Amino acid sequence: MRDRQFTFPDADGEAIFVYEWLPEEDVPVRGVVQIAHGMAETAARYERFAGVLTGAGYAVYANDHRGHGRTAGSPERFGVIGENGFQRMAEAMGQLTDLIRERFSDVPFYVFGHSMGSFLTQKYMYLFPGKVDGIVLSGTNGPQKLLGIGSALARRLVARKGEQHRSELLMRLTLGSYNRQFRPNRTPFDWLSRDEQEVDLFAADPDCGFAMTAGFWIDFFRGLQEIHDERNMRQIPVDMPVYLFSGELDPVGRRGKGVVELAGLYRELGLRHVTYKLYPQGRHEMLNEINRDAVMQDVLHWLDEQTARQNNGS
């Protein structure tokens, strides 16, 4: 696998940092996978997955979103996404797609979004209809209740302490609540995976697990409401293949219920190629679970099926 990094300016001039992983020079590129990472992590964590994909002939790109990783640049900027940041993150994904297309214009193109990245990808699906050939949503969820309550709390905190205030209360009410079903807890991140080594790697990574700002939460909750507005979802092309997968115990997807509901919602809207898979006993990060090799092969199998279908013109 060959790798390099580069940056590009988003609409506001923010330098978006990108990881590029390519097959070896003697392996023809048969498709592209663009990855959108999750909250409070970095795109660098997807290098192992990229190794599997590039070994099968896929070029892989993953950017650090605003407020994350090397796009943020320093811990003080972690969780700071700026005004209308959710929209800007999704728009930057579209910009990156266009940049990649300049190099790989004649092969199938897929977007893979995990967790927060899956919600950004859900926005991408109607913001840029027809731009790509397939969508993979990992650790995702459908329409959620109580978003208004969370947004009101975040707004009160912003009014009192400013947009860049890092609220432990909001973290406990959101990500912190996910760990409760896995008590007794060994770490604050047990909900991510049954693989203790992977959990410890996340906890020890200075680019992961940080508290998001109150301003981020306002924007994020608004984004979650927008992506499931029927008027937006109806912009998604009905022939767009969508694959959803999650751990059966993933609290983000309400232990599978949200994933099933979202798949059903897409089908009700007329999407003709929607499939999903729930992994028994799996938690949130299936790419880092104890059965990750099988999970990655399942994703690769889906990609290969779509690529063959594209190449056959069906």
Q: How many CA atoms lie within 13 A of 206 on its CB side?
A: 7
Mean pLDDT of 24-34: 96
pTM: predicted TM-score of the whole model, two decimal places? 0.96
Residue 151, pLDDT score: 76
Q: What is the pLDDT of residues 208-248, one digit of tens each?
A: 999 999 889 989 999 999 999 999 999 999 999 999 999 99
User: Could you give phi then psi for residue 308, rounded to 5 degrees?
Assistant: -65, -40
Residue 150, pLDDT score: 74
Contacts of 72 (CB under 8 A, 6+ apart): 64, 66, 78, 80
Residue ranges covered by each domain of the chain: 2-144+218-311
Residue 146, pLDDT score: 65
Residue 314, pLDDT score: 60
Pick from 100-104, 142-146, 150-154: least confident: 150-154
Please give the CATH architecture assigned to the domain spanning 2-144+218-311. 3-Layer(aba) Sandwich (3.40)
Q: What is the pLDDT of residues 5-25, one digit of tens each?
A: 999 999 999 999 999 999 999
Mean pLDDT of 47-61: 98
Q: How confident is the model at residue 188 (pLDDT cuts 50, 70, 90)?
A: very high
CA distance 134 to 142: 18
Provide the 10 A C-beta neighbour count for residue 215: 23
Of 139, 160, 183, nearest in space to 277 by CA = 139
Q: What is the pLDDT of residues 73-91, one digit of tens each?
A: 999 999 999 989 999 999 9
CA distance 157 to 245: 35
